[in-house]
């Protein structure tokens, strides 16, 4: 599937037909008209980010008839959090990604999540890489086996989860508890992984039920985020299999 | 540090001065002479691979005066296995990489290995990515915190390890035992991770003391190799910390 839609007519049509759009970029140099206003109106209605950017942003697309507007289309359909929570959940896990910027990391996380039987991945609509063709490719097809839930506010999502019998586990290098001190079996757990450099944001740490670290045996605290997630999520798998004596 | 050395004189000088060379590429179209013979002789003596390749291989280096010969230089000094084994080892871990082809995977593995306090990484000199500048960069500096041991034969290396009080653990998707069934505490363990697609080679599986799998909760057996390693190596860390009540 195409990653980018070019020009007012095509972007407007994509919005009307309800295609999943990650972001709309509009050149600061184009004039407002009925179509552009309609685009902005529909984007707002559907919670789709649109940004006014310098015309230089369009240089990579010079060969296309973009008319100063492009839409970055998602290769997948995102899942709605409310719809996800309406279904029954029992002893499941979710992953919340707080500002992952690297497409390869997101792809690797999706692969690992699918292998570990994770029920869904939550990403924010801003300040995060979206599902693009690089993520799709790096996930080695795993993207088709797990719902990705896009939310406008991670804080609101965490509150909703807490009100729906989910326990929130955040990761932070300065935590007191180790990730294996948590008993993952018998509860729905949502694990928050932070951005590559900044970590989990303070407000989310505060909202979490548990904060855990991965103990490092060398003073070199730089585990890749997908590797860190793999360690934690497979500890929860281990606990569930060992306790339920599954081989 | 430079990644590539160009031309007969520079390659010869690098060999004489003992610089770490991953591989020497020689164009099939260049004529043999005293210098080239000396290069081949020194390469053989030092166990450095040299390959005769079509002149098209040199197109990317057209701007350099390569004279049909280049040497790919390692950004690090490799460690010798015998020297490594001469030192005392107690309750340590090693990672053996059987044919990893992707530089980013190798970099991520090195980061994870350092965080988990692994004592060294063994790679083969053939059919494997070597330590290059991409690996160095992806490792986020971790490459400077762990010895990388390059060997001509992984089978020989495994035999040497077994004769030196190391236990060999290979990973294979069809294993009966899970990775967490092993008791890692109290022994020196060397964990063999296989190539991205082919897995651990049959001869190494046969030579191993244990073969383990990571149980998958979804029928999607495609964990990225660095993530798979992270899961296993941090299970060994967990066991050691829990048993020794370190927090």
Name the residue facing A140 among B114, B222, B230 (closest C-beta).
B222
- Give the residue from chain A lying closest to B240, CA to CA: A217
Q: Which of left, alpha, beta for A146 (phi over 0: left; psi -120 to 50: alpha)?
A: beta
Q: Best residue in B180, B225, B230, B246 to probe A by mutation, most A CBs within 10 Å?
A: B230
Return mean pLDDT, chain B.
Answer: 91
B81-243, which class in CATH? alpha beta
Confidence grade of residue A1 (pLDDT, cut at 50, 70, 90): very low
Residue where the block lists tokens 């950004």: B75
Q: Which residues in chain A are contacts of B227 at CB distance < 8 A?
A: 108, 111-112, 226-227, 229-230
CA distance linking residue A191 with residue B68, whole number of Å: 54
Does residue A178 surpass a pLDDT of 70? yes
pTM, two decimal places: 0.85
Q: Are B154 and B96 in contact (CB under 8 A)?
A: yes
Nearest alpha carbon to residue B21 among B48, B39, B1: B48
Chain B (207-246) residues lying within 8 Å, Cβ to Cβ, of chain A: 214-218, 220-224, 226-228, 230-231, 234-235, 237-238, 241-242, 246
Record: contact B217-A237, CB cut-off 8 A:
yes
Does residue A246 surpass a pLDDT of 70? no
The DSSP secondary structure of B61-103, one letter per residue, reads GTTS--TTEEEEE-SSPPBPHHHHHHS---S-EEEEEES---H
- Give the residue from chain A lying closest to B144, CA to CA: A220
A123 bridge partner residues: A150
Does residue A236 surpass a pLDDT of 90? yes
Record: contact B218-A141, CB cut-off 8 A:
no
Record: contact A238-B142, CB cut-off 8 A:
no
CA distance linking residue B141 with residue A136, whole number of Å: 28
Q: What ranges in chain B are assigned the alpha helix state H?
A: 8-16, 34-45, 81-86, 103-115, 133-138, 154-162, 202-207, 225-243
Q: What is the pLDDT of residue A155?
A: 97
Q: Best residue in B116, B140, B177, B244 to probe A by mutation, most A CBs within 10 Å?
A: B116
pLDDT tens-digit map of A120-173: 999 998 888 888 888 888 888 888 899 999 999 999 999 999 999 999 999 998
Q: Which residues in chain B are contacts of A121 at CB distance < 8 A?
A: none
pLDDT tens-digit map of B62-84: 888 899 999 998 888 899 999 99
pLDDT tens-digit map of B135-178: 888 888 888 899 999 999 999 999 999 999 999 999 998 899 99
Name the residue facing A227 among B141, B227, B246 (closest C-beta).
B227
pLDDT tens-digit map of A188-204: 999 999 987 889 999 99
Domains A4-73 and A81-243 are alike in CATH topology: no
A127 bridge partner residues: none
CA distance linking residue B218 with residue A113, whole number of Å: 9
Q: Which residues in chain B are contacts of A234 at CB distance < 8 A?
A: 214, 231, 235
Taking residues B209-229, report their average pLDDT. Answer: 89
What is the rounded end-to-end Cα distance, in angstroms, of chain B? Answer: 39
Q: Are A95 and B211 in contact (CB under 8 A)?
A: no
CATH number, domain A4-73, options 3.30.1330.30, 3.40.30.10, 3.30.1370.60, 3.40.50.300: 3.30.1330.30
Q: What is the pLDDT of residue A247?
A: 56
Q: Best residue in B107, B178, B224 to probe A by mutation, most A CBs within 10 Å?
A: B224
Q: Sketch the domain layout of chain B as residue ranges.
A: 4-73, 81-243
| Alpha-carbon torsion (B18, B20, B22, B25), positive or negative | negative
Nearest alpha carbon to residue A154 among A165, A144, A168, A143: A168
């Amino acid at each position: 599937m195409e990653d980018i839609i070019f020009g007012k007519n095509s972007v407007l049509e994509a919005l009307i037909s309800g295609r999943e759009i990650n972001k709309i970029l509009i050149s600061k140099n184009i004039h407002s008209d009925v179509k552009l206003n309609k685009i902005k109106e529909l984007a707002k209605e559907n919670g789709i980010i649109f940004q006014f950017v310098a015309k230089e942003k369009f240089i990579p697309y010079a060969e296309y008839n973009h008319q100063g507007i492009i839409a970055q289309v998602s290769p997948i359909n995102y899942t709605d959090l409310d719809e996800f929570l309406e279904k029954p959940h029992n002893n499941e896990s979710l992953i919340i990604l707080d500002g992952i910027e690297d497409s390869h990391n997101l792809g690797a996380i999706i692969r690992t999540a699918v292998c570990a039987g994770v029920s869904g991945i939550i990403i924010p609509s801003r300040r995060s890489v979206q599902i693009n063709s690089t993520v799709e490719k790096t996930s080695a097809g795993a993207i088709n086996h797990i719902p990705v839930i896009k939310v406008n506010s991670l804080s609101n999502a965490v509150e909703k989860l807490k009100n729906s019998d989910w326990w929130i586990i955040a990761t932070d290098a300065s935590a007191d508890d180790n990730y294996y001190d948590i008993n993952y079996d018998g509860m729905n757990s949502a694990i928050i992984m932070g951005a590559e450099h900044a970590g989990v944001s303070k407000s989310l740490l505060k909202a979490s039920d548990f904060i855990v670290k991965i103990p490092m045996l060398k003073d070199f605290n730089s585990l890749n985020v997908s590797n860190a997630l793999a360690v934690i999520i497979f500890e929860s798998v281990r606990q569930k299999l060992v306790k339920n004596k599954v081989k």
